[in-house]
Chains A and B, each alone.
Chain A
Amino acid sequence: MAELTDDDLWRLYRQGEVEAFEALFCRHHTAVYQFARTILGRADQSEDVLQETFLALTRHADGYQPRGNFRGFILRIARNQCLNRIAARKAQRLALSQTGLEWIEPDSPEPHPPELAERNEDLAWIKAAVNELPHDQRQAIALLVYEQMSYPQIAELLEIPLGTVKNLIHRARARLAEQWRRTHQEK
């Protein structure tokens, strides 16, 4: 089915070909998981988002109108799933703070220890640094670098003006550059 477009696969799936769903899953699961991982940090919640995103496709099969942007559609579902989880975390934290108990989970994602397989030190560094960007900058950068989306595509997916996208990316890169200098001057 390699030569079929996403929209072809989607139509086949809607006509009862379950293999077409598997083909769509194969094509897009890495992007969904990477996006969730970058936005949420936590592996367990990213797994939930991956699962819920594809489940949503089976539940609301009428939701997608085949217009050649299946990836954008599915990433939008994933993004909403992520936002729900972030909102839940905030609510949990608020509830706890009202009881006078301390919140133990950090707001920023868990720092990723550089993996053993990660030979390249710079690459490990940038990945960890991206994961520590403020939420809105992180979303924009994740779509830019992992999805290689254009600024207009990012604006459409995040439903924000183009100027805001540029602004977020410039701020994110500036922040990363300043961090890079601090880390590398210490050495």
Chain B
Amino acid sequence: MTCPTTEAWAAWLDGAVPSPGREELAQHAAHCPLCQATLQSLRQVDSSLARLRPQPVPADVLMRVRQSLSPAAGHTGWPQIMTLEEVGRFMQLDDRQLDEIVEDLPAFELAGQIRVRYARLLEWIAQREREFTHQRTGSWVGRPTIGRDASSYSLKFESA
């Protein structure tokens, strides 16, 4: 038997060679010093590969990327100016439910169309949250979770 290629040995180590080829290769390996050396180098490479770990992103790179992402992240994929249909999807309301609250929405008219500013919508939701908490508890200990203006959102920098 002529010596198998290094690639064949790599497949063999991987358990990817079916019988009877697998056994033939095992026999060859037992008697061929050349292929033993090949196998040794493959095992060496495999154990080194197994120890590779992703390197941390350099701090200056991380800082620049976070800075450039910060305003975009605030958009959360929703446009700054939303249509009623988008408001409905955002708040998970169907058309009929949306009709019930459309009067209360912080909306404005533009070329005959109703539009809502995303940031104002978040404020409006926060206001309703506070009112709801007040109704239930009779106090103002509510937690305004998304009461901040969306434009003031910024990504926090990792201290580590």
Query: Could you tell me which A residues sit within 8 Å of B by CB distance?
Result: 13-19, 21-22, 25-26, 29-31, 33-34, 37, 43, 47, 50-51, 54-55, 57-62, 120, 122-123, 125-127, 130, 141, 144-146, 166, 169-171, 173-178, 180-181, 184
Contact = CB atoms under 8 A, between A and B. Distances in A.
Nearest to A178: B6
Query: Can you list the 5 inter-chain pairs with the closest CB atoms, starting with the nearest?
Result: A61-B77, A34-B54, A174-B6, A126-B48, A174-B7
Interface of B: 5-7, 9-11, 14, 16, 37-38, 41-42, 44-46, 48-58, 61-62, 64-66, 68-69, 72-78, 90, 122, 125, 146, 150, 153, 155-156, 158
B146 to A, nearest CB: 6
A62 B41 CA distance: 47
A51 B72 CA distance: 11
B76 A58 contact: yes
Nearest to A47: B61
A34 B54 CA distance: 6
Contacts of A18: 73-74, 76, 150, 153, 155
B65 A29 contact: yes
Given A18-B153, A22-B155, A127-B52, A58 B42 contact: no
A145 B52 contact: yes
A173 B10 contact: yes
A181 to B, nearest CB: 5
Contact of A145 (B37, B42, B49, B153): B49
Contact of B65 (A15, A54, A125): A54
Nearest to B6: A174
B49 to A, nearest CB: 5
A58 B70 CA distance: 11
A13 B76 contact: yes
A185 B112 CA distance: 79
Given A29-B62, A61-B76, A174-B5, 6 more contacts: A16-B125, A18-B74, A21-B155, A58-B69, A145-B50, A177-B10
A30 B158 CA distance: 14
Contacts of B51: 120, 123
Contacts of B74: 18
Most buried by B among A57, A122, A174: A174
Contacts of A184: 41
Contact of A123 (B5, B48, B75, B146): B48
A184 to B, nearest CB: 8
Contacts of B66: 25
A21 B150 CA distance: 14
Given A17-B146, A146-B54, A166 B69 contact: no
Given A166-B16, A170-B11, A171-B7, A130 B52 contact: yes
B13 to A, nearest CB: 8
A54 B155 CA distance: 13
